Amino acid sequence: MTSQAPGLSSLGAAVAIGDCERTRWTPIAPVGVTLAVIQAWKQVRANKGAAGIDGMTIEEFPAWVKAGHWIVVEQSIRSGDYQPAPVRRVEIDKPDGGKRQLGIPTVTDRVIQQAIAQILMPLFDPGFSADSYGFRPGRNAHQAVRRVQSVLKEGRRFTVDVDLSKFFDRVNYDLLMTHLGRKVRDKRLLGLIARYLRAGIIDNQLYLESREGTKESKFLGFNFKGTQIHWHPDTLRKLKQRIRELTDRNWGVSMHYQLFKVSQYLRGWINYFGIATGYQRCCDLDHWIRRRVRTAYWRQWRKPRTKVRNLMKLGVHVQSAVACGITSKGPWRSSKTPGIQQALSNDYLKAEGLASLRDGWIKLHHSG
Inside any domain, residue 272 = yes
Domain count of the fold of the chain: 2
Amino acid, single-letter form, for residue 303: K
> Is there a single domain that holds both residue 120 and residue 242?
no
Q: Is residue 342 part of a domain?
A: yes
Q: Do 59 and 171 belong together in one domain? A: yes
Question: What is the predicted pLDDT for the residue at 214?
Answer: 47
Is 295 in the same domain as 186? no
Within a domain: 145:
no
pTM above threshold 0.85 = no
Residues 327, 332, 334, 340: what is their CA dihedral angle, to the nearest 10 degrees?
140
- 213 found inside a domain: no
pLDDT at 56: 93
195 and 226 both lie in a single domain:
no
The string of DSSP codes covering 263-292 is HHHHHHHHHHHTTSS-HHHHHHHHHHHHHH
Closest to 289 in 3D by CA, of 222, 360, 228: 360
Walking along the chain (368 residues) 10 residues at a time, the average pLDDT comes out as 34 32 32 60 88 91 86 84 89 71 89 89 90 86 82 81 72 81 86 88 76 54 70 88 87 85 92 85 91 85 81 81 78 78 86 91 80
- Give the span between the Cα atoms of 321 and 338, in whole angstroms: 10
Q: Hey, how many other C-beta atoms are within 10 angstroms of the C-beta on 165?
A: 6
Helix then strand count (H, E) for the chain reads 17, 9
How far is the C-alpha of 25 from the C-alpha of 5, rounded, in Å?
Answer: 9
State the Cα–Cα distance between residues 215 and 224, nearest whole angstrom: 9
Range of the domain at 341: 222-366
Asked, for residue 361, whether it belongs to a domain, the answer is: yes
Assigned domain for 142 exists: no
* Distance between CA atoms of residues 275 and 270, nearest Å: 8
pLDDT at 17: 31
Phi/psi for 223 (5° steps) reads -110, 145
Statement to judge: residues 38 and 174 lie in one domain: yes
Say whether both 181 and 245 belong to one domain.
no
Q: Give the distance between the most distant pair of CA atoms in the chain.
A: 83
* Any domain includes 149: no
Note whether 107 and 60 are same-domain residues. yes
pLDDT of residue 153: 82
* Closest by Cα among 279, 284, 286, 282 to 262: 286
Which whole-number Å values give the CA distances from 86 to 47, 153, 200, 207, 233, in the listed order?
20, 48, 5, 8, 15
Class of residue 343 by CB neighbours under 10 A (exposed 0-12, middle 13-18, buried 19+): buried
Same domain, 228 and 180: no
Q: Are residues 188 and 294 in the same domain?
A: no
- Is 259 found in the same domain as 180? no
Residue 63 inside a domain? The answer is: yes
Please tell me the predicted confidence (pLDDT) of residue 213: 52
Whether 26 contacts 58, CB under 8 Å: no
* 172 and 271 both lie in a single domain: no
Same domain, 169 and 74: yes
- Point out the domain boundary residue: 184, 199, 214: 199
